[in-house]
Amino acid sequence: MPRTLDGQAPQTRLPPGSVDTHMHLYAPEYPQRTPGPLIPRDCPGLAEYRQLQRWIGLERVVIVQPNAYRDDNRCMLEAMAELGDSARGVVVVTPETDIEELAYLHTRGARGARIMQLPGGAVGVDQLLEVNARIREFGWHCIVQFDGREMLDRAPLLRQIDNPYIIDHIGKYLGPVTTESAEFKALLELMDRGNCYVKIAACYESSHTGAPDYADTAALSRALIAHAPERILWGSNWPHVSQSVEGAPNDADLLDRVCGWIPNEKVLEQIFVHNPLALYDFE
């Protein structure tokens, strides 16, 4: 069980309408799909997440399809039905997903498709352009995750996309990089094209310096926010299934840490409210 409501509430007061653009949901009635990663036992569900929302001041959420469910989007769709218009979804679709299914998913609140190149992913970057071509007529976007050390090799493919897309998890650099690294500068160049967003989420997953400061991913995040705050999003990555119970971050502490990388309240509101509301078609 993650340390969701352990300790004091966050010191950060989030602005009204704040959005968590990246979390995952699991439910025991939906078995995992192979070869996806194992679902942790006693994993918290929607009720616990709604407690988290109230605790840290979130009003809207984007549920991202977990790798464990592959292309079975039912758990997410059920949660979105319960949450209503305060929720959107990033689903898994393939180049073979027909238009009728996409239209149905759109009516249920889906607004994005997940591309995951790391182990356990259901749809990889080799299918990115085909998936993007199918979803763009609905106004959706792809969220793309791969090892950021491959950024120079992946950039030519990403430059072929001319509608919005998101690079996940601060670029997910699984080896140490700095703001002067060619791999990081390549990400900034993609952002300069105007349609590439970056999600500040899961800083702990790729940090080599570790808690509590996450100094390495903090430096990358500060540079991204300073470079193009209008294309930065935030996500909790709850319930932190990549971490052990002992290693899971405290959500209040993590929120305060990340918000400390944001220079002022105007940029905080842009990242937590204005950017996601436009990208995810919230009312």
- Which residues are known to be catalytic? 237
Closest CA to 274 of 80, 19, 13, 14: 19
Please name every residue paired with 114 in a beta bridge, in sequence order, or none if there are none: 143
Q: Is the dihedral of CA 216, 188, 181, 154 positive or negative?
A: positive
In whole angstroms, give the CA distance from residue 239 to residue 248: 8
Reference 276, options 224, 227, 232, 239; nearest CA is 232
25 close to 65: Cβ distance less than 8 angstroms: no
Helix (H/G/I), strand (E/B), else coil: 198: strand
Which amino acid, one-letter code, is at 234?
W
- Is 236 within 8 Å of 200 (Cβ atoms)? no
241, HSE (Cβ side, Cα atoms, 13 Å): 18
Please, which residues bridge with residue 113 across strands? 91, 142
Q: Which helix (H) or strand (E) holds 88?
A: strand 87-91
Q: The dihedral of CA 59, 74, 118, 125: what is its sign?
A: negative
